[in-house]
């Protein structure tokens, strides 16, 4: 399937905020209450059309690594967009946002578009962080913001597509250098990394437990 751009997205935030569920809801349109916590990186991919342009979003999920704070530079590398997620029912996940931003500033491209997501909006009766606080944090730090629910799918589509629209806008404004050569290198680099990661995963007994078919699809760019 052809597309104009391939955008790498990453999802960051504390364990249990719903990162894997957001990814699953976006790629598979389903909610799985108990998610298998595997070690490594899991992928999802989906095509979207923004302003009439076909885009492929390739989304990386930490798959549990965030609990060891062992997310590596390669996770952030080449990411055009990030979903920074907290849980509106757990105050501490909101309090940790600054340290996640610090990590991103250190490892990611400074022009990466970040969407702050207050997840679990379906649990408003257990809310511990107001919507205004989320908005305020986003405003102060130059982030996009939405409250969403991976459970009801509310705003999940929007979280991913509004981020893509912002990235496209930056490209059109020339904030991102996307001459054909650079763009091609970016895609090739991602592909090479995917192949290496696949090889590495097949050899590693821990990572081998992961969803190998997803890894193969990702490495060979099959949506
Ligand atoms: N009520 C509700 N529960 C959610 C939502 N998103 C995730 N969860 C639950 O929160 C827990 C952690 O989700 P998970 O996606 O594994 O979090 P991760 O560690 O950030 O990847 C699981 O028990 C999910 O069922 C949501 O939007 N609403
Ligand atoms: Mg997870």
**What's the pLDDT at 177?**
59
What's the pLDDT tens digit per position in 102-121?
A: 999 999 988 999 999 999 99
Name residue 83's beta-bridge partners.
11, 115
Confidence of residue 71 (pLDDT cuts 50, 70, 90): confident
Residues 118 and 146: their CA atoms lie apart, in Å, by 6
Provide the CATH number for the domain around residue 141: 3.40.50.300
Residues 223 and 47: their CA atoms lie apart, in Å, by 8
Residues 105 and 79: their CA atoms lie apart, in Å, by 12
Write out residues with Cβ below 6 Å of ligand 1. Answer: 15-21, 33-35, 119-120, 122-123, 149-151
**What's the pLDDT at 127?**
98
For residue 222, pLDDT over 80 is answered with no
Residue with tokens 């062992």: 70
Q: Which of 38-42, 73-77, 79-83, 146-150 has the lowest mean pLDDT?
A: 38-42
DSSP state string for 53-111: EEEEEEEEE-TTGGGGT---HHHHTTEEEEEEEEETT-HHHHHTHHHHHHHHHHHS-TT
DSSP state string for 134-171: HHHHHHHHT-EEEE--TTT-TTHHHHHHHHHHHHHHHH
Q: Given the CA of residue 64, which atom of ligand 1 is nearest to it?
A: 19
Indicate which residue's Cα is closest to atom 2 of ligand 1: 120
DSSP structural state of residue 121: G
Phi and psi angles of residue 130, each rounded to the nearest 5 degrees, phi first: -75, 160
Confidence of residue 220 (pLDDT cuts 50, 70, 90): low
Quote the ligand 2 centre to 213 CA distance (angstroms). 18
For residue 11, pLDDT over 70 is answered with yes
What's the pLDDT tens digit per position in 181-194?
A: 555 556 666 666 66
Domain encompassing residue 158: 5-220
CA distances (Å), 78 to each of 47, 107, 108, 114, 125, in order?
18, 10, 7, 14, 38
Q: Given the CA of residue 150, which atom of ligand 1 is nearest to it?
A: 27
Count structural domains, the chain.
Answer: 1
What's the pLDDT tens digit per position in 163-177?
A: 999 999 998 888 765
**What's the pLDDT at 76?**
86
Name residue 59's beta-bridge partners.
9, 44
Which numbered ligand comes closest to the C-alpha of 155?
Answer: 1
pTM of the predicted model as reported, rounded to 2 decimal places? 0.83
Q: Given the CA of residue 63, which atom of ligand 1 is nearest to it?
A: 21
Phi and psi angles of residue 127, each rounded to the nearest 5 degrees, phi first: -55, 135
Quote the ligand 2 centre to 18 CA distance (angstroms). 7
Higher-scoring residue by pLDDT: 67, 152: 152
Q: Confirm if 78 and 186 have CB atoms less than 8 A apart.
A: yes
**What's the pLDDT at 146?**
98
Confidence of residue 145 (pLDDT cuts 50, 70, 90): very high
Indicate which residue's Cα is closest to atom 14 of ligand 1: 18
Q: Confirm if 128 and 90 have CB atoms less than 8 A apart.
A: yes
Tell me the two tokens of residue 113. Answer: 């578009």
Per the prediction, the chain carries an average pLDDT of 84
Three-state DSSP state, 119: strand
Quote the ligand 2 centre to 140 CA distance (angstroms). 27
What's the pLDDT tens digit per position in 34-70?
A: 666 554 557 788 999 999 999 999 999 886 777 777 6
Which numbered ligand comes closest to the C-alpha of 16?
Answer: 1
């Amino acid at each position: 399937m052809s597309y104009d751009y391939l955008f790498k997205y990453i999802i960051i935030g504390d364990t249990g905020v719903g990162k894997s569920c957001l990814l699953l809801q976006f790629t598979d349109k389903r909610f799985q209450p108990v998610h298998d916590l595997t070690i490594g990186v899991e992928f999802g991919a989906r095509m979207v059309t923004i302003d009439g342009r076909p885009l492929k979003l390739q989304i990386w999920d930490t798959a549990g690594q965030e609990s060891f704070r062992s997310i590596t530079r390669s996770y952030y590398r080449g990411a055009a967009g990030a979903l920074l997620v907290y849980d509106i029912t757990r105050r501490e996940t909101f309090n940790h946002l600054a340290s996640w931003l610090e990590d991103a500033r250190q490892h990611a491209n400074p022009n990466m578009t970040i969407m702050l997501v207050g997840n679990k909006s379906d649990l408003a009766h257990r809310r511990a962080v107001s919507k205004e606080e989320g908005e305020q944090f986003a405003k102060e730090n130059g982030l996009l913001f939405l409250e969403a629910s991976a459970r009801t799918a509310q705003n999940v589509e929007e979280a991913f597509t509004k981020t893509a629209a912002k990235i496209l806008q930056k490209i059109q404004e020339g904030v991102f250098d996307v001459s054909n050569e650079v763009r091609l290198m970016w895609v090739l680099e991602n592909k090479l990394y995917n192949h290496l990661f696949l090889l590495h995963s097949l050899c590693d007994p821990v990572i081998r437990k992961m969803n190998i078919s997803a890894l193969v699809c990702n490495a060979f760019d099959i949506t």
